[in-house]
Each structure stands twice: as structure tokens, then as C-alpha cells.
């Protein structure tokens, strides 16, 4: 295990802001993770885990602790329970894994195309988009339990999956370090088409019976049009965390109040199975008086999507937070709805 000192974290995140880690270790095998944990504990240091950095805001002052960069690789598959069980190490790039499943005709992840980051983050965030989330397909999460330094395997029901949430994120944040994730996929299964944007793109291309590849192509096109595919160095919106706020889920009564305040019966909403209603955070931001591309100094809304905050040259973490708080205050004042941030914050 090689421990480096004063390692810049900003280049390791898609937002590109924040200070250095006091200590940094790259974990290329599972044994390095508990070893790093023990190293940090002996020195009474805080222990942080870094994946792809696509959903992370680091404080300008940096991190006074040990940051472990997850670089575990490997993919394996086996047949079981009427499907394919695919296990991927936490450091595998997520979109490459989705592309693999689509190419092999395994349904279950196709709508999650184009999402940046690594496999290890997917169960933590219960990553989802365009009508799918990983909580539908995850069967097991292999993780290091930092409470007693044991490697455990957690079944789906133990993960506490909810909308953009999990037990890893909100019940006991930081307790588990994801090492590998197993997904159950459907060989030859039909693609998921539940989202209006995907339906429209398929219709525009004249695709009536879409394949997994068709749905992946539509999702990638939609995300690219919103600057949500972060692999284009020429895209002025590339330095972002993607969606900075989660879509709020409110009671039916609150939804009616928001509609009354908005004076717009066409306000977008999506009924949830529990009787609540999901609202569009992007729509609320724009109706609260903000336009795409608008910003404060070196931080702005994306010019293509009102839910992404973009850090331009010279931006600092404190600038991102100040602008985010301004958006939250405006939406709450206009509609009475609090917006919850989606990224993880370090040192803030």
C-alpha cells in the first residue's frame, strides 16, 4: 500500500473544485481497502472513499484524513434464477458495463446509459434514470463493514433502496465500502420504455419495436442534448455533478398547493406507488425565476438543463454552494418545497 500526501482532489471529480487530501491511497485489490482503513484508524484519521468523483463536492480547504481511491476491476457472470447474474468490481466504469449488457442482450440496465462514475456508487445512490433504477436489479452488494473491518454480502432487501437513496447513503452513511455489486439481468428481455422523452425520441426515429440498443441510443442522445454525458471536452457544461438536486416527492395535498401557487395545471408530476407525487426540480427552479445558463460569477446553471450546476474557470466549492443555496431559497419561497441536494459533500 502506497500512501501519498497532499493529493489534489479537484482533478478527480467531475465538478473540478475543492482542496487536497492530506493522505491518499489507490486501492487496486480488495485487501488494500481494509489495510487502508486500519492505517487511518491507527493514526486517528477520518476515512473517505472516492469512486469516479461524479457526484461529489469537496471543500476548498481539502480533507484532513485518508482518501481511498477505488480502482478494483473485474466482471464475471453466471446463469441463475432464470436470468444472468453479473458481478462487477466497484472500480469498473459504469457506462462501459451498461454497454456490455446491452451488447449481450441482457435487459435491466439499458436506461442507465451515459451516467458517469463507477459501479461502486450505484447501490449507494440507487442510481436511476428514465424509468429504471439499480435497486430493481441488484441482488447482492459485497462490502467492507468499517464497524468491524469484516467483508460482508448484503442482499437487496438489506440495502434499503428508495428513490435516489439507500441504507448505505442515509441509514448508516460511511459504514460500508462497496467492493462489488451483483445485478440480475434478463437475457433476451424487452427494454424498459416508461419515460416520455425516450418514447418521443424512439418515435422521432421511427422505432416501433425498440431493442435494448435502440433504447440505449435514445437515452444517450437525450443525455447528450442536456450535457449530461460528461465525456466531451468541448462542452461548456461538462464540469458538473449532473443533477444537483433530487426531484422532490411530496404528498398529494402539497402537490395541489404547489399547482395553485404555480397557476399552471400542466405542471409536470409523476404519481408514486405510495400515493405521493414526484415533482420536477428543474421545472421548479425555472418557474422560481432562473433561466438556463444563468449564474453567479464562475458558477451557473447548465445552458442545456436547469438541474445541473456548472463550475467554470476560477470556481471554488464555496461558490457552488452559495449558488445552490440561492436556488433552494428561491424555490422554497415560491412554492414552499425544499430541494434536497443529490451530491455527497466532503468537509462541508
pLDDT at 235: 86
pLDDT at 215: 98
Q: How many other CB atoms sit within 10 Å of the CB of residue 266?
A: 7
What does the alpha-carbon distance between residue 64 and residue 44 come to, in Å, rounded to a whole number?
Answer: 11
Q: Rounded to a whole number, what is the distance in angstroms from the first to the last CA of the chain?
A: 28
Q: Catalogue the active-site residues.
A: 164, 243, 342
Q: pTM, whole model, 2 decimals?
A: 0.90
pLDDT at 296: 87
Question: How is 45-113 classified by DSSP, letter by letter?
Answer: -EEEEESS-TTEEE-TT-EEEEEEEE----EEEEEETTEEEEEEETTSBHHHHHHHHHHTTEESSGGGT
Q: Where exactly does CATH 3.90.78.10 map onto the chain? A: 240-346
Q: Where exactly does CATH 3.30.43.10 map onto the chain? A: 4-70
pLDDT at 183: 97
Look up cell 446491452; give the residue. 102
pLDDT at 234: 80
What does the alpha-carbon distance between residue 59 and residue 63 come to, in Å, rounded to a whole number?
Answer: 7
Q: Where exactly does CATH 3.30.465.10 map onto the chain? A: 75-225
CATH code at 4-70: 3.30.43.10
What does the alpha-carbon distance between residue 58 and residue 312 come to, in Å, rounded to a whole number?
Answer: 16
Q: What are phi and psi of 270, to 5 degrees?
A: -140, 115
75-225 placed in CATH 2.30.30.100: no
What does the alpha-carbon distance between residue 226 and residue 235 come to, in Å, rounded to a whole number?
Answer: 11
> Which residues are paired to 187 by β-bridges?
106
* Positions in the chain whose pLDDT score sits under 70: none
CB 164 within 8 A of CB 126: yes
240-346 placed in CATH 3.90.78.10: yes
Q: How many other CB atoms sit within 10 Å of the CB of residue 297?
A: 12
Q: Indicate the length of the chain as a whole number.
A: 348
Q: How far is CA 111 from CA 39, 132, 169, 285, in A?
A: 40, 6, 22, 25
Question: How is 223-262 classified by DSSP, letter by letter?
Answer: HHHTT--TT-TT-TT-SEEEESBPPPEE-HHHHHHHHHHH
pLDDT at 228: 84
Tell me the torsion sign for CA atoms 330, 314, 117, 344: negative
Question: How is 141-197 classified by DSSP, letter by letter?
Answer: EEEEETTTTEEEEEEGGGS--BTTB-IIIIISTTSEEEEEEEEEEEETPPPP---HH
Look up cell 434464477; give the residue. 81
Amino acid at each position: 500500500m502506497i500512501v501519498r500526501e497532499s493529493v489534489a482532489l479537484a482533478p478527480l471529480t467531475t465538478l473540478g473544485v475543492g482542496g487536497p487530501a492530506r493522505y491518499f491511497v489507490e486501492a487496486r485489490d480488495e485487501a488494500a481497502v481494509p489495510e487502508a482503513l486500519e492505517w487511518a484508524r491507527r493514526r486517528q484519521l477520518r476515512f473517505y472513499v472516492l469512486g469516479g468523483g461524479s457526484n461529489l463536492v469537496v471543500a476548498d480547504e481539502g480533507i484532513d484524513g485518508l482518501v481511498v481511491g477505488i480502482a478494483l476491476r473485474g466482471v464475471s457472470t453466471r446463469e441463475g434464477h432464470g436470468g444472468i447474474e453479473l458481478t462487477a468490481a466497484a472500480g469498473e466504469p459504469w457506462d462501459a458495463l451498461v454497454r456490455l449488457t446491452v451488447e449481450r442482450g441482457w435487459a435491466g440496465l439499458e436506461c442507465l446509459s451515459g451516467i458517469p462514475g463507477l459501479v461502486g456508487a450505484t447501490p449507494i445512490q440507487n442510481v436511476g434514470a428514465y424509468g429504471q433504477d439499480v435497486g430493481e436489479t441488484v441482488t447482492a452488494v459485497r462490502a467492507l463493514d468499517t464497524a468491524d473491518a469484516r467483508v460482508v454480502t448484503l442482499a437487496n432487501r438489506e440495502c434499503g433502496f428508495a428513490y435516489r437513496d439507500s441504507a448505505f447513503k442515509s441509514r448508516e452513511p460511511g459504514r460500508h465500502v462497496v467492493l462489488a455489486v451483483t445485478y440480475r439481468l434478463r437475457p433476451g428481455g424487452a427494454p424498459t420504455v416508461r419515460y416520455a422523452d425516450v418514447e418521443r425520441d424512439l418515435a422521432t426515429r421511427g422505432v416501433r419495436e425498440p431493442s435494448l440498443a435502440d433504447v440505449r441510443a435514445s437515452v444517450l442522445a437525450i443525455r447528450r442534448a442536456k450535457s449530461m454525458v460528461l465525456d466531451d471536452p468541448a462542452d461548456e457544461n461538462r464540469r458538473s455533478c449532473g443533477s444537483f438536486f433530487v426531484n422532490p416527492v411530496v404528498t398529494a395535498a402539497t402537490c395541489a398547493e404547489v399547482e395553485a401557487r404555480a397557476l399552471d395545471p400542466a405542471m409536470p408530476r409523476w404519481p408514486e406507488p405510495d400515493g405521493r407525487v414526484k415533482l420536477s426540480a428543474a421545472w421548479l427552479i425555472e418557474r422560481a425565476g432562473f433561466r438556463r445558463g444563468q449564474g453567479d460569477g464562475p458558477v451557473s446553471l447548465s445552458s442545456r438543463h436547469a438541474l445541473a450546476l456548472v463550475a467554470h474557470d476560477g470556481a471554488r466549492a464555496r461558490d457552488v454552494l452559495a449558488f445552490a443555496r440561492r436556488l433552494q431559497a428561491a424555490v422554497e419561497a415560491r412554492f414552499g418545497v425544499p430541494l434536497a441536494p443529490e451530491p455527497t459533500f466532503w468537509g462541508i
